[in-house]
Amino acid sequence: MNIIKYIITLICFYVNHSFAYFITVDAHAEECFFDKVEAGTKMGLTFEIAEGGFLDIDVRIIDPNGQNIYQGERETSGKYTFAAHSSGTYTYCFSNKMSTMTPKIVMFNMAVGESPKAEHAEGESPNKLEEMIKELTNSLAGVKQEQEYMQVRDRIHRSINESTNSRVVMWSFFEALILVAMTVGQVYYLKRFFEVRRVV
């Protein structure tokens, strides 16, 4: 029983900071988020546009010195991982300034690993169980992120399918109206063509 408590405690201790967010970025707006980390910490940003316009957005990752680490324009999804080269606050920004009136809903994860100082503080030779628990928690965090990503993709594809279906139904209805109008017009024209006109 004590070994189970020990494993659960270690899993809680080693869980990476990985948070999933859904945000709305209004037209002509920019939303930014911040993480304060130590140099050498592994970081990652995964994002997906769930709704809005052409499902695109501008993305920037800025280091503590104000330099762009990553910059992408009109992206629908992406994954970017890096190691912090200096200690300080890193900024993630989603910009919808190119949109005139459509807000965008963005799903994103910011994954922050253990800092090198924390890893060294644990001791030079962690036992095999602790290493396995670390790997397990990292794998679980990855599975969780992948599930959230797949949920967003499923929602996007369902929306596209429903939109396509409604357009097909409307087009079929329009075609039926045109066929009925043409049929009525042809019957009327032929009836008049074969009418016997009497001369008085």
Question: 67-76, 99-108, 126-135: which has the minimum mean pLDDT?
Answer: 126-135
Query: 10 Å Cβ neighbour count for 93?
Result: 17
Sheet harboring 68-75: ordered strands across?
Answer: 30-37, 88-95, 57-62, 68-75
Q: Are 63 and 85 in contact (CB under 8 A)?
A: yes
Q: Identify the residue with better confidence: 132 or 69.
A: 69
Domain boundaries, the chain: 2-155
Q: What is the pTM of this model?
A: 0.61
Distances (CA, A) of 155 to 6, 24, 71, 83, 159: 39, 16, 26, 32, 6
CA dihedral 16, 17, 22, 25 (to 10 degrees): -130
What CATH fold (topology level) applies to the domain 2-155? Jelly Rolls (2.60.120)
Which pLDDT score is estimated for 121? Answer: 52
Which pLDDT score is estimated for 15? Answer: 45
- The tokens describing 4, both together, are 């189970």
With a cut of 60, say whether residue 132 has pLDDT above it: yes
